[in-house]
Amino acid sequence: MDKKKGVDDTEPGPAPSRPVDRFGFIKTEHSNSPEGILKSRSTHEHEREERRIRKWRKMIGVGGSDWKHYVRRKPHVVKRRIRKGIPDCLRGLVWQLISGSRDLLLMNPGVYETLVIYETSSSELEIIRDISRTFPSHIFFQQRHGPGQRSLYNVLKAYSVYDRDVGYVQGMGFIAGLLLLYMSEEDAFWLIVALLKGAVHSPMEGLYQAGLPLVQQYLCQFEKLVTEHMPKLGQHFQDEMINPSMYASQWFITVFSYSFPFHLTLRVWDVFLYEGIKVVFQVGLALLRFCHDDLVNLPFEQLLHSLRNFPEEATDPDTLLPLAFSFKLVNSGTLAC
C-alpha cells in the first residue's frame, strides 16, 4: 500500500486518482489484476514470500557481490529459482547481474552521460513520435514530457547514437520502457547494449537492423517447430495460409513485452535474461499448445484473432511456463532456414 502511494505521489495530474495495480498500470473496470490475488494472501503465503526474498538476498550478496560465486557453485539452484520468478523487489538488480550489463556499466564510466548530453541522433523525431505509444496505461509514462517519457527518450536516443547501424526501431521502446520500471536510465541503457551486442547470449541486434534479418530467421524457425511439435496445427495453419509473421513478430521484437499481461512479461524476462532467446520459442509454442484444440478448428479470420488475443487462462505464468519448459529445444541457431 505504501509503495503504491509513493508511486502516485510522483505523478502530477489526474492519473493518481484512478486505481492502479501493483505494477503501476491503471486498472480498467473489467481488470482482473493479480494485485487482488496478492491482497488476499494468507499470512502463511506472505511468510513464505519473505523467506524466498531472504534466500535470494543471501544468494546475491550485498549489491550482487556474491552472485558470480553462487552461480558457479550452484547453477541448477539458480536456474530453478529464476524459473520460479525473481522477487519483484530484487528484479532490477538481478536482471543486471544475469544479463552482464552491470559489468558493462562498470567498464564504461561516463559513456552514457556523453551520449545523452553531447551527441545528436538522426532518430530523435521518430523517437519523440513513438514515446507516448509505449506503455500508455502506466502512470510513469503517462505525463507528456514527464520524467518517464524523458527517461525513455534519453535511453532510446543514447542507443541510437551508440549503435548507428541499428539506430532506433519502434519495438525497442517497449524493452527500454520495461527496464526503466526496474532500474535507472544508465542501467537500462547498458542492459540494452548487453542484449543487442551479446554480452552473455547470442547478439539480438539483428532483430532491429534494416530488414529485420533475425526476426525473419526466428519466424522461419518457429514455423518449423510448430510443424514438428504440433503437426495437426501446423497443417491447419498451412491450409488457412497463416504464417508466424502474422502473429508472432512482436513476440521476438519485444520479447513478449507488448500486449501480454505484465505479470507474464516479467516472468518471461526473468528466464529470458538467464537462458536466452530459446525461451521466446518455448513460450510461443506453449501458447499454441495450450489453445491447440480450439485453434485447429477455427477458420482464417477467427484463427488470426485468437492468435493475437489469447485467453486469460493461457497467460497465467504458473501454468504457461512449466508447459513452455516441457519443450526441449536445441539452440535455435541450429534450425536451418
**Cell match 541448477: residue?**
76
Is 133 among the domain residues?
A: yes
Sequence-distant (≥ 6) Cβ neighbours of residue 89 within 8 angstroms? 53
Whether residues 192 and 298 fall in one domain? no
Over residues 278-293, the mean pLDDT reads: 97
CATH number for 193: 1.10.8.270
Q: Answer yes or no: is pLDDT of 89 > 80.
A: yes
Of 147, 171, 206, the one marking the end of a domain is 206
Over residues 302-323, the mean pLDDT reads: 96
Whether residues 215 and 292 fall in one domain? yes
- Model confidence at 107, in pLDDT bands (50, 70, 90)? very high
pLDDT score for 28: 76
Q: Answer yes or no: is pLDDT of 323 > 70.
A: yes
Helices 262-275 and 91-99: crossing angle in degrees, nearest 10, is 30
Written as one string, the DSSP assignment of 255-267 is TT-SSS-HHHHHH
Is 6 among the domain residues?
A: no
**Angle of CA points 155, 156, 162, to nearest 5°:** 90
For 10-64, write each residue's pLDDT tens digit: 444 444 567 999 999 998 765 554 444 444 567 888 888 899 999 999 999 998 8
Over residues 91-102, the mean pLDDT reads: 96
Q: Answer yes or no: is pLDDT of 286 > 80.
A: yes
Over residues 157-179, the mean pLDDT reads: 96
Whether residues 163 and 117 fall in one domain? yes
Over residues 144-171, the mean pLDDT reads: 95
Over residues 254-259, the mean pLDDT reads: 94
Of 142, 176, 206, the one marking the end of a domain is 206
Whether residues 187 and 221 fall in one domain? no
Conformation bin of residue 82: beta by default, left when phi > 0, alpha when psi is -120 to 50: alpha
Q: Answer yes or no: is pLDDT of 281 > 50.
A: yes
Whether residues 142 and 120 fall in one domain? yes
Whether residues 284 and 307 fall in one domain? yes
Say if residues 257 and 175 touch (Cβ distance below 8 Å).
yes
Whether residues 249 and 313 fall in one domain? yes
CATH number for 314: 1.10.472.80
Whether residues 321 and 217 fall in one domain? yes
pLDDT score for 12: 44
Which of 288, 281, 115 is CA-nearest to residue 186? Answer: 115
Over residues 118-144, the mean pLDDT reads: 93
Cα distance from N-terminal residue to C-terminal residue, the chain: 50
Whether residues 319 and 216 fall in one domain? yes
Is 112 among the domain residues?
A: yes
Is 22 among the domain residues?
A: no
For 190-238, write each residue's pLDDT tens digit: 999 999 999 999 999 999 999 999 999 999 999 999 999 999 999 999 9
Whether residues 259 and 305 fall in one domain? yes
What domain range includes position 119?
Answer: 104-206
Over residues 269-279, the mean pLDDT reads: 97
Which of 91, 178, 96 is CA-nearest to residue 141? Answer: 178
Q: Rounded mean pLDDT of the chain?
A: 90
Is 95 among the domain residues?
A: no
Number of domains in the chain: 2
For 115-129, write each residue's pLDDT tens digit: 999 999 999 999 999
Q: Answer yes or no: is pLDDT of 335 > 90.
A: no
Of 173, 206, 239, the one marking the end of a domain is 206
Whether residues 224 and 320 fall in one domain? yes
Is 3 among the domain residues?
A: no
Whether residues 121 and 194 fall in one domain? yes
